[in-house]
Structure 1
Amino acid sequence: MKRRSFIQKSALSTGALTMTGTLTYANSLTNTTNAHQFNLKYAPHIGMFKHLAGDDPIAQLNFMADQGFTAFEDNEMRKRPIDVQEKMADTMKKRGLEMGVFVAHEIYWKEPNLASGDLDKRIEFLNDIKSSIEVAKRVNAKWMTVVPGHLDLKLRMGHQTANVVESLKQASALLEPHGIVMVLEPLNFRNHPGLFLTDSPQAYEICKAVNSPACKILFDIYHQQIQEGNLIPNMEAAWSEIAYIQIGDNPGRNEPTTGEINYYNVFKWIHEQEFNGVLGMEHGNSRDGKEGELAVIEAYKKVDNFL
């Protein structure tokens, strides 16, 4: 599944109820006394539980909290109307949901921007960061996603890296006074061919060069299983720079237990590192409708049962 269509796909997923007794079970899930106690801060997104909770984003946030989830992420938050952002922020505060990432800027999927060193592109990026700071304040967000965009095939890699580092240094200077962190997300070559940032060692190198608390790594387990594998050792090697984690099984980019990744062991290791950040559930549902949404909840209960 391509990142650009991910939210659209998850939000528009449809399907009929097929599990016997699912409706009764779903209704019982709204009882907060039944909320599950997760060991980590797994963060669903809008659309993940739309069949069980309805289309209203506020109702979906309340449903997430009712199930015991303590965090939420929303790639599209920057594009939502301000009044909707404020209502969502108020609901998250009331329900104890920590805001995860949103995408901080326009991502260049097909042409170079930060890697090129083009000053107009850099200014555009920095202006997006400035506007995203206001969004982050409005919704109490600490992290925002940054993807440096496409390679510039006319430049050697060293020059591209220097261009990206300079843009990120300037962005960090904007973010630091507010305590906000941009998290750089490496994306795999299969879903996103031609992008500048692809693996965790490269992201680690860039963060060390930027040398700012406002510039860290978003380690997306789905992307890095495809790109580099060797998940736990690679996370350990870059751990000092990892501030945010995202989830998706492979193949399929759906909930844990549907692919090849041993999420039980991965989550156990993350917990052992005393990670207190958010783990974004940036994946689809393997099955449609209410049945599929219940399956997502049960999958997380299963892989979270490592204590």
Structure 2
Amino acid sequence: MRRRNFVKSTLGLAGAAALSTGNLSARPTAKNKFNLKYAPHFGMFKNMAGDDLIDQLKFMADQGFTALEDNGMMGRPVDVQEKIAKEMSRLGMEMGVFVIDKGGNGANTLAAGKKEYVDIFLDGCKRAVETAKRVNAKWATVVPGDFERNLPIGLQTGNVIDALRRGSEILEPAGLTMVLEPLSDTPNLFLRTSDQTYEICRGVNSPSCKILFDIYHMQKNEGHIIPHINWAWPEIGYFQIGDNPGRKEPTTGEINYKNIFKYIYDRSKKENKSFIMGMEHGNFNPGKEGEQSVINAYIESDKFPI
């Protein structure tokens, strides 16, 4: 499932959903207590919770999920953003990533170094700050876009670093961190591996520019997941989850998520750090049964010795 499909689906929910309190209510005690902060997205449990976004939040909290990520948050009406934030605060849930609108893509790649492309990106950063204030967000996803193949790779890297430094100057005073996501969707993408992203974050040299380590994409592009997490650790700000092949919930593919979750938990505890773990994947099976399978997969994968 490509990022644009996630954004399209979340924006589709935003336009028509009337946010009411519905019949569900927040439970004083969640059904499950997870070791890590797993973050579902809207639509993941719509068969069990209903189409109403607030009811979906309540359902997530009732199941023990303590965070939410919403790629399309910037495209939601302001009043919807505010209602989501209010309910999340009441439920004690944290906001994970949203995608910075036009924060670099194939049509305005930051690798090209063109002023008009950088200006589009910087405008997105400014608007992202306002969204983040409304929804109490600390992280926002940026993808620099495609290769500019008529330029040497070193020049492209320099162009990306320059643009991200300017973006960081906008985000840092607001306490918002852009997390750069290397992707596997197409070989045309400039940002592909965790070590390349690490290099760029070091070049930008800002607390507002870190790595979004999407385990699904990195399994496809580089494998060797735990060592790569270890090497890139100082610059990682956020994780996303998806099994491979298929980009569905843990236990449906080849990735040993129990071991990966344990590594992240153990090291985070030792260093007094905390990460939101975005559930940016689809459901392996449809309907209510498929949604319960997602919950069961996280219960099972979170059962590691601590």
Taking structure 2 as the reference length, the TM-score comes to 0.91
Residue 165 of structure 1 corresponds to 161
Unmatched tracts of structure 2, length 5 or more: 13-22
Residue 179 of structure 1 and its aligned partner are, at CA, apart by 1.2
Q: Which of residues 215, 225, 229 is equivalent to 2:223?
A: 229
CA contact (8 A) 2:105 2:144 kept: no
Residue 5 of structure 1 corresponds to 5
1:198 is paired with a residue of what secondary structure? coil
Residue 105 of structure 1 and its aligned partner are, at CA, apart by 2.4
Residue 176 of structure 1 and its aligned partner are, at CA, apart by 1.1
User: Structure 1 stretch 95-104 or stretch 111-120: which is displaced more?
Assistant: 111-120
Residue 211 of structure 2 corresponds to 217
Residue 273 of structure 1 and its aligned partner are, at CA, apart by 1.0
Higher relative contact order (CA 8 A, sep 6+): 1
Percent of aligned pairs with the same residue?
A: 56
Q: Deviations over 1:12-46 (max 9, x none)?
A: 9xxxxxxxxxxxxxx99985545210000000000
Aligned length: 292
User: Structure 1 stretch 266-275 or stretch 104-113: which is displaced more?
Assistant: 104-113
Residue 110 of structure 1 corresponds to 106
Residue 254 of structure 2 corresponds to 260
Q: Deviations over 1:195-231 (max 9, x none)?
A: 1100000000000000000000000000000000000
C-alpha distance in 1 between matches for 2:156 and 2:81: 35
Residue 17 of structure 1 corresponds to none
Q: Is 1:93 aligned to residue 89 of structure 2?
A: yes
The verdict on how the C-alpha distance between 1:294 and 1:124 changes in structure 2, with shifts beyond 3 A counting, is same
Residue 245 of structure 1 and its aligned partner are, at CA, apart by 0.2
C-alpha distance in 2 between matches for 1:277 and 1:270: 9
Amino acid across the alignment from 1:211: N
CA contact (8 A) 1:255 1:299 kept: yes
Q: Is 1:63 aligned to residue 56 of structure 2?
A: no
Residue 239 of structure 1 corresponds to 233
Residue 107 of structure 1 and its aligned partner are, at CA, apart by 5.2
CA contact (8 A) 1:183 1:215 kept: yes
C-alpha distance in 2 between matches for 1:34 and 1:97: 12
Taking structure 1 as the reference length, the TM-score comes to 0.91
Q: Which of residues 66, 69, 72 is equivalent to 1:73?
A: 69
CA contact (8 A) 1:11 1:46 kept: no
Residue 249 of structure 1 and its aligned partner are, at CA, apart by 0.1
Give the alignment of 1:131-280 within 5 angstroms.
131-188=127-184, 191-274=185-268, 275-280=273-278
Q: Deviations over 1:102-160 (max 9, x none)?
A: 00121554345210010011011001100000000100000000000011011110110
Q: Calculate the aligned-residue CA RMSD, in Å.
A: 2.0
Unmatched tracts of structure 1, length 5 or more: 13-26
C-alpha distance in 2 between matches for 1:6 and 1:116: 26
Amino acid across the alignment from 1:224: M
Residue 15 of structure 2 corresponds to none
C-alpha distance in 1 between matches for 2:120 and 2:102: 9
C-alpha distance in 2 between matches for 1:51 and 1:8: 19
C-alpha distance in 2 between matches for 1:111 and 1:11: 20
C-alpha distance in 1 between matches for 2:6 and 2:196: 25
